């Protein structure tokens, strides 16, 4: 039978061992944090150097030279997308194009609220009202997720075509679009939209997910999803950065950010400073959200109105709060 003295000695030994392990664990965590800080600092330095090099590249500077001759040739004989980039297998060759006599804005967006109950695309829809009020005709193209094609009239009166991306070029030409508006240019969307961008003034909006690394939005994923999907998402990040760099470096394209923060994030991710940047915040419907002066007590009155069927924007944390 073990004596009280022996138990005390054994307990003391376990206590000291536990303290040593805890101290070692803290030291390891400190080393990890230090390494993470160093890696992040070096990454920022590399991104800064890449932007400086991009600005000095002669081919980037030459893009600022008027290119009326090249544009005329492309309008006449067309141009097929180069091989080897994302989505090119389904890219449509450029065909002869004649613009409409009326200002016609073709908007490419991932979502659009085609009826009152639809969720998604509201920030885009709120912008279009002002374009129509200014005398423009506005049409919307939404990439189809299931491969089907249909044309509908949204609740706000906008003509919306929902179809595969391989029909985007044909639709833009049949519409006689005079300006192209692209929201969230993912690699696949841009592989088709860029042909139209060669023919008309183009404006591209950077909203968020398409212009930053997925790892910065890690709260959208569970630990299991991150382990399973990280190789594919890392590869997609490389393609996204390449596309954004091409768009932002082109002075013919107006690159529009929804905030100064988004511009900073996008330029860091792409390693390129936007040649023609603009900051236009999302529209706030003052009829739905009229201003009123808040009191100190109002700080604790918070209403969260959004879909909670995904983890986006930390909705799981919002429900716990």
Residue-by-residue DSSP string for 109-145: -S----STT--S-HHHHHHHHHHHHTT-EEEEEEE-S
C-beta separation of 235 from 111 below 8 A: no
pLDDT at residue 6, as a whole number: 52
Q: With bands split at pLDDT 50, 70 and 90, how would you rate the model's confidence at 201?
A: very high
Per residue in 44-90, pLDDT (tens digit) is: 777 777 766 766 666 555 555 555 455 555 444 444 333 333 333 33
pLDDT at residue 191, as a whole number: 93
The single-letter DSSP state of residue 101 is S
Angle, CA 76 vertex, CA 74 and CA 80 arms, to 5°: 45
| Residue 118, pLDDT above cutoff 70 | no
Least confident of 47-56, 177-186, 197-206, 221-230: 47-56
Per residue in 218-234, pLDDT (tens digit) is: 777 778 888 888 888 88
At 161, phi and psi to the nearest 5? -105, 125
pLDDT at residue 94, as a whole number: 40
- Report the share of the chain in percent with pLDDT over 70: 76
Identify the CA nearest to 181 among candidates 273, 280, 89, 271: 280
CB-based contacts of 98: which residues, under 8 Å, 6+ apart? 173, 176
Please report which helix (H) or strand (E) contains residue 234, including its range: helix 223-249
CB-based contacts of 260: which residues, under 8 Å, 6+ apart? 279
pLDDT at residue 79, as a whole number: 40
CB-based contacts of 253: which residues, under 8 Å, 6+ apart? 197, 202, 203, 204, 247, 275, 276
């Amino acid at each position: 039978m073990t004596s009280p003295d022996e138990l005390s000695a054994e307990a003391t030994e376990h206590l000291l061992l536990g303290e040593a392990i805890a101290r070692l664990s803290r030291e390891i965590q400190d080393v990890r944090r230090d390494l993470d800080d160093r890696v992040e600092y070096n990454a920022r330095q590399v991104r800064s150097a890449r932007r400086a090099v991009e600005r000095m590249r002669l081919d980037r500077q030459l893009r600022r030279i008027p290119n009326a001759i090249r544009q005329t040739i492309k309008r006449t004989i067309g141009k097929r997308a180069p091989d080897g980039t994302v989505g090119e297998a389904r890219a449509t060759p450029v065909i002869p194009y004649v613009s409409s006599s009326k200002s016609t804005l073709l908007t490419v967006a991932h979502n659009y609220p085609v009826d009152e109950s639809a969720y998604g695309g509201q920030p885009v829809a709120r912008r279009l009202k002002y374009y129509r009020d200014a005398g423009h005709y506005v049409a919307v193209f939404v990439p189809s997720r299931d491969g089907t094609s249909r044309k509908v009239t949204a609740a706000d009166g906008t003509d919306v075509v929902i179809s595969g991306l391989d029909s985007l070029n044909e639709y833009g030409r049949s519409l006689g679009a005079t300006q192209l508006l692209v929201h969230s240019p993912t690699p696949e969307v841009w592989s088709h939209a860029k042909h139209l961008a060669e023919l008309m003034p183009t404006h591209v909006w950077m909203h968020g997910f398409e212009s930053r690394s997925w790892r910065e939005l890690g709260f959208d994923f569970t630990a299991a999803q991150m382990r399973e999907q990280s190789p594919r998402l890392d590869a997609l990040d490389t393609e996204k950065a390449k596309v954004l760099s091409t768009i932002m470096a082109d002075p013919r394209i107006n690159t529009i950010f929804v905030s100064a923060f988004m511009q900073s994030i996008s330029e860091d991710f792409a390693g390129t400073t936007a040649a023609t940047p603009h900051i236009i915040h999302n529209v706030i419907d003052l009829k739905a959200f009229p201003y009123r002066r808040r009191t100190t007590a109002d700080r604790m009155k918070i209403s969260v109105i959004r879909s909670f069927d995904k983890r986006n924007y930390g909705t799981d944390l919002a429900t716990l709060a």
